[in-house]
Structures are given as C-alpha cells and as structure tokens.
Amino acid sequence: MNKPLQRITLPALFSGLALLACGNAGEQKTTSPADNDTTRKEKTYLSQPLVSHIYTADPSAHVFNGRLYVYPSHDTATGTPEDDMGSHFNMMDYRVLSMDSVGGTVTDHGVALHIKDVPWAGRQMWAPDAAYANGKYYLYFPAKDKKNIFRIGVAVSEKPEGPFKAEREPIKGTYSIDPAVFLDDDGSFYMFAGGIWGGQLQHWDNNQYNPSAKLRNKNETAFLPRVAKLNSNMKELAEPMREIKLVDAAGKLFTEGDNDKRFFEAAWVHKYNGKYYFSYSTGDTHNICYAMGDSPYGPFVYQGILLKPVQGWTNHHSVVQHNGKWYLFYHDVQLSGQTYLRNVKVTELTYNADGTIQTIDPFKTK
C-alpha cells in the first residue's frame, strides 16, 4: 500500500537540514572535485534539493498531462561497504515526485515499485526511467538478477505515479544499467543504456556476456553506450542492442584515457530544433557532457560539458522542456555529504544560437 501523499515546498526543506546533518554527524564525509575546490567556501549552491524528507538521485523527468513527473532512484543507508563497483548503492524501491511547475509544490506519491514485487530481481534497483504509450505508463529499471547480472525490467501502471506492476521477467536482450527511453517525432521509442565499472558494460561484447572481461587501459577505445528500438508493446526490444558511436570533431572515437569526455554511464537523449542531443556522465572525472547527432542511432559528435562536477562522486541527469523553458535535473549530496545519500535538484538550461548548450556550474560565486 502506498504511503499518504506528502507535499513539500522548497522553503520547507530547510527546516529538516539540521536534523539530517545531525543524523549523519558520525559518518565520514565523502569528497569530490567540487569539495576540494580552494574557493569552495566562497561558493553557494546554484539550486536547492527538491525534497529533504527522503534521499533521491538519478532523476528522469517527464511531462505527463501537463505536469512534471520525476522518476529518481531512492537512496537509503543500508550499511553496505563502499567499493568501486557501487555495492553501497543498494536501493530497494522507487518513489515518484511530481509538481505543476519548477519551483512549485512537490508531491511525493510514495512507493511506486518495491524489489520484493519484482520476481526476477535480486538487488540494487538503480536509475529508472518512464514513458507513456498505449494508454499506459511504463517504468523501466535496472536491477541485478539472481545471478548478480544487471538486466533491465519494465513495470506498468494506469497512472504516471504508479503503483507499477512488474513483468515476471526482465526485457529479453537487455543488460547493464541506466535505461533512458526516448520518444521520437514519428512515435518510435528507443531505449538507451549502459554503464561501466559497477554497471557491467565491460562484460558485454556483441551482446554476449563474458564474466572474465576486464576494464580497458587508457590507450584502448572506450566502451560505447547502447541503443535499441522498442517494440510497440513497450515490453520488448524490436531489435538487438547496438553500440552508439561517440566521437570527437574529427570523427574519432575516444579512448579510455579520454576520461574527461568518454562515456561512463547515465545516457539521456532529447531533441531540439531537429537535432538529437546525447548527454551522459564521464564518471571518474565527474562531468556531464553532451554530443549532437542527426539520428537516435548516432554517431554523436562531442560538444562539451553540460554540467560541471557537483558535490559528491556521482552525477546523473535528465533534460526536459516544460512551459516553454528547458530544464536540467541532476543530483548532488548537499543534504548528507555522503556518496550514497543524494538529493535531486533542477536548474534552467540555456541554448546558444547555434544550438550548443551553455555550461552550467552547480555552484555560484558570492
């Protein structure tokens, strides 16, 4: 059963900051490039968390029925030790947030899907996404199956906020993490996915799983994100997953050593003035970058940094248009200072006349 709806305005979050800080007083603060900035004390946050009563991350934002819906991960303190494979991100359910407009009252609709109600899933419900088609709402999510291999599942609801009912098996042919579902102008849906390190993308070559595969060295071609068109029933792939070429201005693929530009995780695609924008996280260099192309299959040409490093190790974002403006949703660790206890934020996004996007700094100088 869902919990009663909770409505939280942005000013209300400040009343909970002191309690949250006390609750984490005994924990070690996790650092990031933004934390180590020598001018950090002279900066303030560009935006504030959408909610403070729960920890949220990896926000996928969509407009359904004129209202903004945000589908985030739900962070909790499980006590799982931290490692490079992300074991400490041991999330167990999804919550849905919504608002009439950015800056307005945020509604927490309670638990939309719990891992205990997903027959095939074992653990770690990571970053989700959602889509509307056939008169229904579809929640796409990664989780490790009973063999500890990440697959992507789908759950269905009559309402954008859920609750969602999961299919008994993951989507055949899917793997890795961070599904992002894009609706093109012709009504076709495409699923983008992938993430290295804990996301296991390094174990997949030509859609075949190799448990002994290793990460690549700095001189080898970087791992590439994946894409596949969805079947009209929204529960199956219409084709095998394929690699997306992410290249520099000369058309050259990045190497693993280009880790300030190469793909790590958190794929997202949106369309603006006829161009496809592929944005993603570089992971260990903490950038959100973007590239542009003429097809959802790519190739996508690198353009630059969309969002500079936030406070905390991870970042994951989405881009959405609402009421004539474009917005970037993202997360940091302002409330907790802990890598695995994050909070979702939003800020306006600005295009230049040539279609490129102005780089956003998550901090502002006083």
Find out whether 182 and 190 touch, Cβ atoms under 8 Å.
yes
Q: Among 145, 265, 332, 361, which one carries the catalytic annotation?
A: 265
Q: What is the 3-state secondary structure (H, E, C) of the chain?
A: CCCCCEEECHHHHHHHHHHHHHHCCCCCCCCCCCCCCCCHHHEEECCCCCCCCCEEEEEEEEEECCEEEEEEEEECCCCCCCCCCCCCCCCCEEEEEEECCCCCCEEEEEEEEEHHHCCCEEECCCCCEEEEECCEEEEEEEEEECCCCEEEEEEEECCCCCCCEECCCCCCCCCCCCCEEEECCCCCEEEEECCCHHHCHHHEECCEECCCCCCCCCCCECCCCEEEEECCCCCCECCCCEECCEECCCCCECECCCCCCCCCEEEEEEEECCEEEEEEECHHHCCEEEEEECCCCCCEEEEEEEECCCCCCCCCCEEEEECCEEEEEEEECCCCCECCECEEEEEEECECCCCCECCECCEEEC
Q: What's the CA gap between 14 and 165, in Å, rounded?
A: 35
Q: What's the CA gap between 221 and 328, in Å, rounded?
A: 29
Q: Which two tokens stand for residue 18?
A: 């002191």
CB atoms under 10 Å from CB of 185, counted, come to: 7
Q: What's the CA gap between 204 and 176, in Å, rounded?
A: 8
Say whether 58 is catalytic: yes
Q: φ, ψ for residue 16 (rounded to 5)?
A: -95, -5
Q: φ, ψ for residue 332 (rounded to 5)?
A: -145, -165
Q: Among 27, 58, 294, 354, which one carries the catalytic annotation?
A: 58
Say whether 82 is catalytic: no
Just list the catalytic residues: 58, 265
